[in-house]
Amino acid sequence: MQATRILAIRHGETAWNVATRIQGQLDVPLNATGEWQAAQLAQALSAQEKIDAIYTSDLLRAYATAHAIGQAVKLPLHTHLGLRERGFGDFEAKTFAEIATALPADSLRWRKRDPEWAPPGGGESLVAMRERVLSTVNHLASGHLGGNIVLVAHGGVMDILYRAATRLDLQAPRTWDLSNTAVNRLLWTTEGLSLVGWADKSHIDGHSQDETTA
């Protein structure tokens, strides 16, 4: 059975990541650390991987990360709305602490990972997000059987992919890493996703932003 190799990558760091402020589908740029992470990632992928296509969320933090990869491997970017972060409605632009204070009942349902609950103000439920993300990945991967594609997206998307590949429930407690620019390796076939490797951060672990690179 032919498979598509997927490198699924969360965008580089933003100031809102550091501040634990919910970004959702708002456009937030990479901070200096995120730009450095993206550059390190791009350098590593260009040296180690043969990539056939790059797909990215259209949100700036993901697109900027994908752009660094595209420049390094000399491939165009293809944006797809299905790779966007979860829509968080009224939670967006608030910190975790602000949400707990302003919307305590909704905050509790969020922390309990209620799969049918959607954030107030037009947010997206986990069930709806899972359907969106997996439908998108199925569509993109099916067009590259035998190939190797990059998907640049968001923490929530990475979480959905890990659960799908390991057959974990949406409410299972999260014990896996969702680090910025970590490389997550998956295989896709018509039977679904399987996990090859998770949270490879070798391109940034042990490196300093002050180091000069060729």
* Residues known to be catalytic: 11, 85
185 three-class SS:
strand
Q: Which residues contact 208 (CB under 8 A, 6 or more apart)?
A: none
CA–CA separation, 187 vs 5, rounded Å? 5
Q: How far is CA 105 from CA 63, 90, 97, 156, 172, in A?
A: 34, 13, 13, 21, 20
159 alpha-carbon distance from chain centroid: 8
CA atoms within 13 A on the CB side of 18: 11
CA–CA separation, 83 vs 62, rounded Å? 9
